[in-house]
């Protein structure tokens, strides 16, 4: 391994190629950096900040930060983990995430990353936003209560499906996912259950109909092994409940 093409991640040498981000190189080497809005199949988005790492005392998003030789990257100090916990706690209170009642529980990246970071409670006051469920499409439902605004469905529909079914509207706390159709309903859009956008949601916001709870609770993807070992739901498309919708 040439030192010219390596950086250190928690004291471990990580090889990288020209154009890699820290996240790219880490994931390829089998080193886990927590993330939610990142999916290696798409251009980095840099919005959730869960992938934050320390470099020379500066916090950067590892999914957007270019790798360079000789970097000393901290991915595990207590301060950093606490920062991630705070971000996750905000995500939990901003939406309505009722894990025991969610079909994606056990195969949800938000839940799995929260477990990984040792988050024990939301800590902050719940916002309890008023959000809807769109069951207008024959094959797919959207529960906006669970959306974490990662924009993976937006990117998938735009860049892979070439349909632009989804977009984000509003700013700050008013940001929300919208369906681009005359009525604003999914059933009135060009969306199809075979679209890439139907298989990228890291949480239980975009769910297939007609196949609920196929994998029993207790034997789902992250029930079996932590996310640091098994990786994204996206890597387990044909596996189980984690895969039916999450990618």
Binding status of residue 63 toward ligand FES by CB under 6 A: yes
8 A C-beta contact, residue 93 and residue 128: no
Binding status of residue 205 toward ligand SF4 by CB under 6 A: yes
* 113: Cβ contacts below 8 Å, ≥ 6 apart: 34, 35, 36, 50, 84, 88, 227
Taking CB under 6 A as the criterion, the residue among 50, 177, 179, 234 binding ligand FES is: 50
Buried-state track 134-153, b at ≥16 Cβ within 10 A, e below 16: bebbeebbbbbbbbbbbbbb
Least distance CB 57 / ligand SF4 (angstroms): 31
Minimum CB distance to ligand SF4 smaller for 14 or for 148: 148
Least distance CB 158 / ligand FES (angstroms): 18
Give 21's DSSP letter.
Answer: B
Least distance CB 91 / ligand FES (angstroms): 11
Query: Which window, 55-63, 72-80, 131-139, 202-210, contacts ligand SF4 (CB under 6 A)?
Result: 202-210
Least distance CB 117 / ligand SF4 (angstroms): 18
Binding status of residue 203 toward ligand SF4 by CB under 6 A: yes
Least distance CB 83 / ligand SF4 (angstroms): 21
Taking CB under 6 A as the criterion, the residue among 36, 91, 110, 113 binding ligand FES is: 36
Output the CA torsion 174→180→182→183 (10° steps): -50
Closest to 197 (Cα-Cα) out of 140, 114, 133: 140
Structure tokens at 63: 């999914």
Q: Which does 38 bind (CB under 5 to 8 A by kind): ligand FES, ligand SF4, none?
A: ligand FES
Binding status of residue 20 toward ligand SF4 by CB under 6 A: no
Rounded Cα distance, 98 and 38, in Å: 23
Extended strands (E) in the chain: 6-9, 12-15, 52-55, 58-61, 72-74, 133-134, 140-143, 166-169, 176-179, 206-208
Closest to 224 (Cα-Cα) out of 120, 101, 112: 112
Minimum CB distance to ligand SF4 smaller for 23 or for 95: 95
C-alpha Rg value of the chain to the nearest Å:
18
Least distance CB 36 / ligand SF4 (angstroms): 8
Minimum CB distance to ligand FES smaller for 73 or for 141: 73
Q: Using CB under 6 A, which residues numbered 121 to 160 contact ligand SF4? A: 147-153
User: Which residues form the interface with ligand SF4 (CB under 6 A)?
Assistant: 147-153, 177, 200-201, 203, 205-206
User: Which residues form the interface with ligand FES (CB under 6 A)?
Assistant: 35-38, 46-51, 61, 63
């Amino acid at each position: 391994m040439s030192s010219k093409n390596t950086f250190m991640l928690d004291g471990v040498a990580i090889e990288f190629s020209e154009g890699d981000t820290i996240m790219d190189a880490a994931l390829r080497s089998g080193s886990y950096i927590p993330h939610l809005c990142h999916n290696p199949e798409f251009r980095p988005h840099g919005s959730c900040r869960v992938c934050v790492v320390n470099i020379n005392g500066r916090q950067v998003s590892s999914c957007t930060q270019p790798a360079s030789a000789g970097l000393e990257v901290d991915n595990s100090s207590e301060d950093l983990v606490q920062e991630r916990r705070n971000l996750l706690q905000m995500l939990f209170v901003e939406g309505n995430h009722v894990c025991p009642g969610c079909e994606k529980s056990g195969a949800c990246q938000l839940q799995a990353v929260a477990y990984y970071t040792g988050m024990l409670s939301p800590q902050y006051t719940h916002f309890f936003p008023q959000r809807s469920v769109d069951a207008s499409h024959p094959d797919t439902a959207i529960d906006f209560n669970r959306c974490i605004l990662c924009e993976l469905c937006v990117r998938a529909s735009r860049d892979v499906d070439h349909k632009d079914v989804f977009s984000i509207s509003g700013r700050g706390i008013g940001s929300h996912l919208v369906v681009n159709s005359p009525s604003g309903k999914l059933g009135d859009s060009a969306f199809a259950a075979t679209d890439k956008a139907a298989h990228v949601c890291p949480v239980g916001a975009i769910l297939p109909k007609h196949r609920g709870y196929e994998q029993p609770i207790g034997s789902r993807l992250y029930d079996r092994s932590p996310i640091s070992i098994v990786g994204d739901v996206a890597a387990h498309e044909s596996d189980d409940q984690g895969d039916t919708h999450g990618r």
